[in-house]
Amino acid sequence: MTAWPTTEPAEVELVSGDARLAVDLRGGNLRALTVGGWDVLDGYPAGTVPAGRRGGVLLPWPNRLRDGQWTWEGQQLQLDTAGPGKPAAHGLVGWQRWEVLARHSDAVTVGTLVEARPGYPFRLAAAVDHLLGEDRLTVTVRVRNAGERPAPFGAGMHPYLSVGATADGGIGDAELTVPARTALDLDGGLPTGTRRPFDGAVGRIGDRPLDDALTDLTRDDDGWARVALRGPAGALELAVDPAWPWLQVYSGDTLPEGQRRRSLAVEPMTCPPNALADGVDLVVLDPGESWAGTWTLGWTAA
């Protein structure tokens, strides 16, 4: 037998008017979103390894888990980390294969299975629905407990929003409003146990470093909370439904040179960093039970 698995990058592309979306089936990432000549998402070339979890699906936890350690129902659990003293970061699905479950010209659903393993002895089915319009992307993350015991998890996504900057530091010229009133105090990206008030009327970002886990979201009458980012290329609005009580806002200060502070990560999250250990806002699904959360990204060109 001489068969080999495919070695070509695998992705699916949607088109609606001038808008084009590429979903990477390695990790389920939002690899690219362009509208005409505007890269609305600061993505990465097909087949390359993205820095900073660009466009990533964060499951079964977003953000960081201190030392990869947590306890559930009296069982001490240890997830893989990058080394001693390092956290476990951004979940388990970032490099595994996703498959196309349903597809139309302007919509696609991709999915994967989180198998039980040391450190996370639960089984989850995950699906992400993408609907592309001429001025808006709608993303719904769905999770179902495919195991035989209650399963705790958190979810998030990691899009980097671009409003025209192409050089390091260029995001400083953008104007930002975040509908959040409380920030979690962090040290090395992990909670210290305290919180502080947050003024979401950021205005011009300038040299301000942002890497904040935010909650107490201010919501409109429809229950959605809306982030506004404006720059030379146009205006973006990222909106989250009530299933997402947290946002992480990150200005990319620690990214590699050539990618630093040129875009803004705005991450919808169900829970804050270290939630598996702290138990804050974890979702727990009984066997067969499902959860879903929707967020949207709208654009208006300058």
Picking from 9, 11, 27, the residue whose alpha carbon sits closest to that of residue 93 is 27
Beta strands 290-301; 136-145: pairing state: antiparallel
Tell me, yes or no, whether 5 lies in a domain.
Answer: no
Tell me, yes or no, whether 252 lies in a domain.
Answer: yes
Predicted local distance difference test score (pLDDT) of residue 8? 81
Cβ contact 89:65 at 8 Å: yes
The dihedral sign for the CA sequence 241, 122, 22, 233: positive
Q: 127 Cβ partners below 8 Å, 6+ apart?
A: 101, 109, 110, 111, 141, 142
Tell me, yes or no, whether 220 lies in a domain.
Answer: yes
Tell me, yes or no, whether 181 lies in a domain.
Answer: yes
Q: What percent of the chain has pLDDT over 90?
A: 96
List strands edge to edge, sheet with 124-132. Answer: 99-104, 107-114, 124-132, 136-145, 290-301, 234-240, 225-231, 175-177, 203-204
The H or E element containing residue 278 is helix 275-278
Predicted local distance difference test score (pLDDT) of residue 133? 98
Q: How many domains does the chain have?
A: 1
The H or E element containing residue 277 is helix 275-278
Please provide residue 270's backbone torsions phi and psi, each rounded to the nearest 5 degrees: -85, -15
Picking from 140, 146, 126, 170, the residue whose alpha carbon sits closest to that of residue 261 is 170
Predicted local distance difference test score (pLDDT) of residue 247? 98
Tell me, yes or no, whether 192 lies in a domain.
Answer: yes
* Cα 115 to Cα 271: distance, rounded to the nearest angstrom: 21
Tell me, yes or no, whether 96 lies in a domain.
Answer: yes
Sequence-separated contacts (24+) of 216-222 with Cβ below 8 Å? 216/180, 216/181, 216/182, 217/179, 217/180, 217/181, 217/245, 217/247, 218/179, 218/180, 218/181, 219/179
User: What's the pLDDT tens digit per position in 65-120?
Assistant: 999 999 999 999 999 998 899 999 999 999 999 999 999 989 999 999 999 999 99
Please provide residue 209's backbone torsions phi and psi, each rounded to the nearest 5 degrees: -80, 135
- Can you give the CATH number for the domain in which 71 is found? 2.70.98.10
Q: 33 lies in which domain range? A: 11-301
Question: What does the DSSP 8-state code read for residue 302?
Answer: -
What tens-digit pLDDT sequence spans the chain (302 residues)? 899 988 887 999 999 999 999 999 999 999 999 999 999 999 999 999 999 999 999 999 999 999 999 999 999 999 999 889 999 999 999 999 999 999 998 999 999 999 999 999 999 999 999 999 999 999 999 999 999 999 999 999 999 999 999 999 999 999 999 999 999 999 999 999 999 999 999 999 999 999 999 999 999 999 999 999 999 999 999 999 999 999 999 999 999 999 999 999 999 999 999 999 999 999 999 999 999 999 999 999 99
Q: 6 Cβ partners below 8 Å, 6+ apart?
A: none
Beta strands 160-161; 30-35: pairing state: unpaired
Tell me, yes or no, whether 204 lies in a domain.
Answer: yes
Picking from 79, 57, 51, the residue whose alpha carbon sits closest to that of residue 67 is 79
Predicted local distance difference test score (pLDDT) of residue 1? 85
Tell me, yes or no, whether 27 lies in a domain.
Answer: yes
Q: 2 Cβ partners below 8 Å, 6+ apart?
A: none
Predicted local distance difference test score (pLDDT) of residue 82? 87
**One-letter-per-residue 3-state SS of 75-108:** EEEECCCCCCCCCEECECCCCCECEEEEEECCEE
- Give Cα 45 to chain centroid, integer Å: 18
Predicted local distance difference test score (pLDDT) of residue 7? 84
